[in-house]
Structure 1
Amino acid sequence: MRKLAVYAGAFSLGIFLAQYLLPPDWLLPGALVCLGLGWAAFLLPWEVRRRCVAACAALALALGWNWLYIRQVQKPLEVLAGMEGPAVMTLCGYAEKTDYGARAVVRLEGVPLGKAVFYGDWPLLELEPGQTVSAVARFQSAGRIRDTDVTSFTSKGVFLLAYGRGEAVYGSGTSSSPRWWPVRLGRAMAEKIQELYPDSSAGFLTAILTGDKTGLPEGDGIALSEAGLYHVMAVSGMHCGFLLTLAAGLTGKRRRFTAILVLPLLVFYALLTGGSPSVVRACVMLAFLLAAPLFCRDSDPPTALAAALFLILLANPFAAASVSLQLSFAAMAGLLWLTPKLMRALAGERDGFFRLLAASFSATMGALVFTTPLTAWYFGRLVLVSPLSNLLSLWAAGLGFMLGLLSAAAGFFCAPLGMAVALAPRALVWYILRAAHLMADIPHHALYYTNPYLKYWLIFVYVLFALACVLRPKGRRKYAAAALLAVLTLAVTVKLGQRRCQADLDVFVLDVGQGQCVLLASEGRFALVDCGSGNSWLSAGDMAADYLSSLGCKRLDYLILTHYDQDHVSGVAALTERMGVQTLLAPDVSDSAGLREAVLSAAEASGASVEFPGELRSIALGGAALAVYPPVGEGGDNDEGLSVLASAGELDLLVTGDMDRATERKLLAAYDLPDIEVLVAGHHGSRYSTSEELLEALRPETVCVSVGNNSYGHPAEEALERLARQGCTVFRTDLHGTIHLSLNREK
């Protein structure tokens, strides 16, 4: 078994090197070099020869396999990027809604390997897996979207995006093949849950049973995330363990019969939930665990873990960049290595309830220690209440999963019986969500890496405990001292983060992609001008809430919306759910996209008072002052918006939203604007905004462009040239990230 672990581990290492470090042109030469090293390893002593030969052979296979996969799977799809033409596509699953229609994972006719995502119209939602759609499509690479390699698509074997053009023919083909049975059963189960659970518990149970989180209310999702419980809904090894526990309970202690029943059931469940790396990892490890006694072998969890990673990366080397895979394997490594050590240290020879608590705490901490650096990198948060919330809720999640599955199964045969069984899961879901909301309401329940000092604290803590582990003498006191020092330094870190805003007016132009979100802070008072992003992978509301929380803000004083475009208001719901708003100021105009009502509903639900300025509105913000100008244009959403002038003494910043040059002239004519120091470029640097007239009248010294990946050509060369002629210093969020400016009045 250990030989397999060496080979699988070396193969996995080679794939990670190929994905993260080595250029594609180096893969084949690298494989040949590894083969040469493998032959040279035959000169080593027998004790180490076998392992070295196996490791070199595995590395050579990994690099060669990655090269072959790119050549045979990725490139045949990416060669279509930039083209437009007819295509016949077979759905690999059910379509899901988007803001402008629907999308589905498909396979292109004539390209047998690799997948694409097709963006089409609403009829796509009525198709079943296995059916086809014929359409003219414009193709785009799924591997180069944000000027960097994209992992969310390529890690799932998707290398092409197809955008429908014109009329499409939907519904040919068949969905009756056994290949599609797991996906169809997953949809049928989700529909049955909706029947049995008429309240909000349906979204939670659908998520933990099938992996579909689209029905979960946004407020519940935010609470689970803030409490460190969102992993409960990400179908993973934990859920496979619940399934195994349920099967073992139904079959009794007959190990052979349990193995024969559970092995195909795990494969079917993995297909039903979409085959995420975390589920595949769990299925392979449980298969090793169940099959080992059948072949009179001892189970070896590290070997099973390495073998699972080998199989996943063999199927798709790009899965190495999957966040789900990295978190799942890191958590499992912590459970295998650190959890037993913590358990022995905490429980010793004790039994009973204390041992149960120690086991739960040890498992949670073992997983957290290995996953915290990854969650910091990918999600930018450190959830301090996670051990407590997991201790309170995981047992309920397990029971809820098993009873929810039983209620859905019973509901297919007898609806009244299914509804009766559903009473217990409904109560358990209520308990979990209530616990999550309570945990999320605790002050400092989570910390955010928008506090730049927090990452240094995290590195310090890992180094601190590593030193405690290797230094003598042995004993618990040094770990207790390290823990106390970690807590004290964390308190200092939090205070330092809150004291970053010491200027008369601090301005943060947040990097929210193609959108706008400008945070203003002065003497403990906070205002936010716009909160939206046009890039679906970014949540402007969460980002703004993270910054506000790290600065010590518990409730936002003012939220000012220049207008109702998606890239200026998409984050309002998430922001108000997490932070709450004292006063919302917005234009009293209708919007073509119908976002006004959603924004006002979210604001009112948070207890905000809503104002529609019809004339100049002056606001005191700590040591600064805000002037909110009413709409001066007409004829469109962009030109009927608010403008904001923030001033600290003689220093001024102006935000004009998306108004064009004609409306800028009207603003200059209607109000006596001062010379300003900072301008947030209009309409993300559009050629039609930030006109010569505005620049000559206001003479800004610094211009911030809030912009991200887009197809509009923002910022336009014409706009950048105007700024250069004016002698402005230009900062761009797509190049410089979040921009922090401090304005101090002269003493």
Structure 2
Amino acid sequence: MGIIILRFGELHAGNLKVHFIDVKQGDAILIQYEGENYLIDSGKNLSSNKLINYVDSVGVTTLNACLITHPDFDHYGEFEDLIESGLFNIEKFIRNKNISTNVSYIRLTNLLQTENILVDSVDHENDLNWSMTTDILSPNYDNGFSGMNNNSIVIKMSLGEIDFLLTGDSVEDNNQYLLDTYDLDAEVLKVSHHGGLNGTSETFAAEVSPIVSVISSGNNSYGHPSQTVIGLLQDVGSLIYSTADDWNTWWINGGNGSDDISLDDDILVETDGENIWVNDELVWSSFAIDEEYAGNAFLNVSPNPFKNSVAIQYSVKQSGNVKIDMYDLRGRLVKRLLNEHKNTGSHEVEWSAEGMRSGIYFCRFVHGNKEEVRKIVLIK
């Protein structure tokens, strides 16, 4: 009989590694997979050379691509020092088609020319051709959005069952375009605009429904991260990680103390395509589901997301025992809704989530030796 199990994989060198580097109020993401290294954004040019030292410390000698999501200084400011350090062979730079007149950006552009580093300008129609599946979702310049943030390069990156949504500083207009155009469901979210209020709406959080959310921010005067955004991510059950240095910095910027939030400075997210580790701790394992289904039943859950209760509708084409169980994000059984003989026909059972926390749950339906699973989101 097919059953739901958790595949507890092991950390190994072949995992996709995504390093969210603490560069204070800025973004810097190092991606490593199959011997290749990609650096998305750099943060500002900190006197501590944090980015350079970090990338060097994990054994990187070649950067197959450096990508600037948009020309704001807290996303490109350290690239000049990184190039001039001479520690890394940089194969190419990737940027969007927005040009900044900032002196530091012009200086970086001139340095790339001097060093004969290839520069590609991209939008949603281009491919990155990286060693894992990557799709550029934006910018789409046909939208005519103004402002640097609304033209951020947004990437959806996938390995096996695990998707990453890397949002740069994408804000309201571009986020609505993304919602209208793409399937944004992802297990790992780089929270847009350092957790700013204009980077994540209730609809956006629900559509992505991330298992892991990473906020890259430091001490600032912008109110990043927004406590509202933190609440929206908690409402969909996401585990929240921040590059903030300490709780004092987090509280000053609008955060709050919670068991759902980890302040870890540098954050390493790894996956083998089925499991997710954060800083070497296993936080998620995909359900192993018998996908071969003979057509003896049909399962639907509605509404999804839901607030108080959800209707689970199913059809049985051959009478027999039916079992319906609810599991939480970690694969723990939280409620057995049904375990009895059912005759041929359509049936419905309701799950009242009173007393349950907001978050991601799984409805498991078993009929005979076949099963189906549906992911559902509880928002209170």
- Normalising by structure 1, we get a TM-score of 0.31
Check if 1:551 corresponds to 2:58: yes
Distance, in Å, in 2 between the alignment partners of 1:592 and 1:606 is 21
The offset of 1:619, in angstroms, is 3.1
Structure-1 residue corresponding to 2:223: 713
1:629 to 134, 137, 149: 137
- Which structure's CA Rg is the greater one? 1
The offset of 1:621, in angstroms, is 3.4
For the residue of structure 1 that corresponds to 2:24, the secondary structure is: coil
Check if 1:643 corresponds to 2:167: no
2:212 to 693, 702, 709: 702
Structure-1 residue corresponding to 2:332: none
The offset of 1:696, in angstroms, is 1.8
Counterpart amino acid of 2:76? Answer: V
Structure-1 residue corresponding to 2:168: 657
Distance, in Å, in 2 between the alignment partners of 1:626 and 1:507 is 14
Check if 1:511 corresponds to 2:22: yes
Distance, in Å, in 1 between the alignment partners of 2:203 and 2:173 is 10
Residue deviations 1:230-254, cap 9 Å, x none?
xxxxxxxxxxxxxxxxxxxxxxxxx
Distance, in Å, in 1 between the alignment partners of 2:139 and 2:92 is 19
1:573 to 80, 83, 103: 80
The offset of 1:615, in angstroms, is 3.4
Compared CA separation, residues 646 and 508, structure 1 to 2 (3 A): same
Compared CA separation, residues 609 and 537, structure 1 to 2 (3 A): closer
The offset of 1:538, in angstroms, is 4.6
Distance, in Å, in 2 between the alignment partners of 1:518 and 1:644 is 12
Structure-1 residue corresponding to 2:196: 686
Distance, in Å, in 1 between the alignment partners of 2:12 and 2:96 is 29
Distance, in Å, in 1 between the alignment partners of 2:115 and 2:156 is 26
Structure-2 residue corresponding to 1:221: none
Q: Conserved in 2, the CA contact under 8 Å of 1:643 and 1:657?
A: yes
Counterpart amino acid of 2:154? Answer: S
Q: Conserved in 1, the CA contact under 8 Å of 2:218 and 2:243?
A: yes
Distance, in Å, in 1 between the alignment partners of 2:238 and 2:22 is 20
Distance, in Å, in 2 between the alignment partners of 1:577 and 1:594 is 17
Compared CA separation, residues 686 and 737, structure 1 to 2 (3 A): same
Distance, in Å, in 2 between the alignment partners of 1:561 and 1:523 is 22
The offset of 1:681, in angstroms, is 0.7
Residue deviations 1:124-169, cap 9 Å, x none?
xxxxxxxxxxxxxxxxxxxxxxxxxxxxxxxxxxxxxxxxxxxxxx
Gaps (5+ residues) in structure 1?
1-499
Structure-1 residue corresponding to 2:281: none
Distance, in Å, in 2 between the alignment partners of 1:679 and 1:655 is 6
Structure-1 residue corresponding to 2:126: 617
Compared CA separation, residues 617 and 628, structure 1 to 2 (3 A): same
Compared CA separation, residues 692 and 552, structure 1 to 2 (3 A): same
Check if 1:584 corresponds to 2:93: yes
Gaps (5+ residues) in structure 2?
1-10, 245-262, 275-287, 289-380
| 1:293-442 correspondence runs (5 A) | none
Distance, in Å, in 1 between the alignment partners of 2:47 and 2:166 is 22
Check if 1:522 corresponds to 2:30: no
Residue deviations 1:186-241, cap 9 Å, x none?
xxxxxxxxxxxxxxxxxxxxxxxxxxxxxxxxxxxxxxxxxxxxxxxxxxxxxxxx
The offset of 1:643, in angstroms, is 1.0
Fraction of identical pairs, as percent: 26
Counterpart amino acid of 1:626? Answer: T
Q: Conserved in 2, the CA contact under 8 Å of 1:514 and 1:706?
A: yes
Structure-1 residue corresponding to 2:70: 563
For the residue of structure 2 that corresponds to 1:515, the secondary structure is: coil
Compared CA separation, residues 604 and 712, structure 1 to 2 (3 A): same
Counterpart amino acid of 1:654? Answer: L
Structure-2 residue corresponding to 1:263: none
| 1:82-481 correspondence runs (5 A) | none
Check if 1:733 corresponds to 2:243: yes
For the residue of structure 2 that corresponds to 1:547, the secondary structure is: helix
Distance, in Å, in 2 between the alignment partners of 1:637 and 1:511 is 22
Distance, in Å, in 2 between the alignment partners of 1:732 and 1:566 is 20
Compared CA separation, residues 610 and 651, structure 1 to 2 (3 A): same
Residue deviations 1:676-709, cap 9 Å, x none?
1111111101011122222222211110000011
Structure-2 residue corresponding to 1:675: 185
For the residue of structure 2 that corresponds to 1:647, the secondary structure is: strand
| 1:532-543 correspondence runs (5 A) | 532-533=43-44, 537-538=46-47, 542-543=49-50
Q: Conserved in 1, the CA contact under 8 Å of 2:40 and 2:66?
A: yes
Structure-1 residue corresponding to 2:323: none
For the residue of structure 2 that corresponds to 1:688, the secondary structure is: helix
Compared CA separation, residues 571 and 537, structure 1 to 2 (3 A): closer
Compared CA separation, residues 546 and 637, structure 1 to 2 (3 A): same
Counterpart amino acid of 2:150? Answer: D
Check if 1:745 corresponds to 2:255: no
Check if 1:601 corresponds to 2:110: yes
The offset of 1:537, in angstroms, is 4.7
More helix by share: 1
Distance, in Å, in 1 between the alignment partners of 2:222 and 2:161 is 35
The offset of 1:721, in angstroms, is 0.9
Compared CA separation, residues 565 and 526, structure 1 to 2 (3 A): same
Distance, in Å, in 2 between the alignment partners of 1:660 and 1:630 is 12
Distance, in Å, in 1 between the alignment partners of 2:65 and 2:169 is 20
Matched length:
242
Q: CA RMSD in A?
A: 2.2
Residue deviations 1:36-64, cap 9 Å, x none?
xxxxxxxxxxxxxxxxxxxxxxxxxxxxx
The offset of 1:665, in angstroms, is 0.9
Q: Conserved in 1, the CA contact under 8 Å of 2:100 and 2:106?
A: no
Greater relative CO (CA pairs within 8 A, separation 6+): 2
The offset of 1:674, in angstroms, is 4.6
The offset of 1:501, in angstroms, is 6.9
Q: Conserved in 2, the CA contact under 8 Å of 1:581 and 1:606?
A: no
Distance, in Å, in 2 between the alignment partners of 1:614 and 1:741 is 26
For the residue of structure 2 that corresponds to 1:658, the secondary structure is: coil
Counterpart amino acid of 1:714? Answer: H
Q: Conserved in 2, the CA contact under 8 Å of 1:503 and 1:743?
A: no
The offset of 1:720, in angstroms, is 0.7
The offset of 1:599, in angstroms, is 2.6
Residue deviations 1:589-612, cap 9 Å, x none?
123635432232233333321111
Distance, in Å, in 1 between the alignment partners of 2:240 and 2:108 is 32
Structure-1 residue corresponding to 2:331: none
Counterpart amino acid of 1:625? Answer: T
Distance, in Å, in 2 between the alignment partners of 1:680 and 1:606 is 31
Compared CA separation, residues 556 and 587, structure 1 to 2 (3 A): same
Distance, in Å, in 1 between the alignment partners of 2:126 and 2:167 is 15
Q: Conserved in 2, the CA contact under 8 Å of 1:506 and 1:743?
A: yes
The offset of 1:543, in angstroms, is 2.8
